[in-house]
Amino acid sequence: MANIKIDGSATLVVLVCESCDGAWRACAWAVGEAHDRAVAHEKRTHPGEHDAYQAREQWRRRERRAQARQLVTRR
Ligand SMILES: [Zn+2]
């Protein structure tokens, strides 16, 4: 017996590169992983551009701030 449970509430992050006219697509299980994939694609296919890199840095800063806030409210 194969006991397969399908959970439709699980969300996948979908990436589409508009600079490649949507030809490059990827998906990730989490936003952090999606940013890593975006940066890897940018390095490989769009050398010299840093938009995905900057977006990841901005996201990381926001995450760190959100985490710091959570630590404060938990105390
Ligand atoms: Zn691209």
Please give all residues whose CB falls under 5 A of ion ligand 1, grouped by chain where several chains appear. 17, 19-20, 24, 45
Report the 10 Å Cβ neighbour count for 45: 13
Q: How far is CA 22 from the centre of its chain?
A: 17
CA–centroid distance, 21 to ligand 1, in Å, is 8
pLDDT tens-digit series, residues 43-62 = 999 999 999 999 999 999 99
Q: DSSP 3-state assignment of 28?
A: strand
Residue 50: what pLDDT?
98
CA–centroid distance, 67 to ligand 1, in Å, is 31
CA–centroid distance, 23 to ligand 1, in Å, is 8
Q: How far is 38 from 53, CA to CA, in rounded Å? A: 8
Residue 10: what pLDDT?
78
| Mean pLDDT, all residues of the chain | 93
Q: How far is 1 from 19, CA to CA, in rounded Å? A: 46
CA–centroid distance, 46 to ligand 1, in Å, is 6
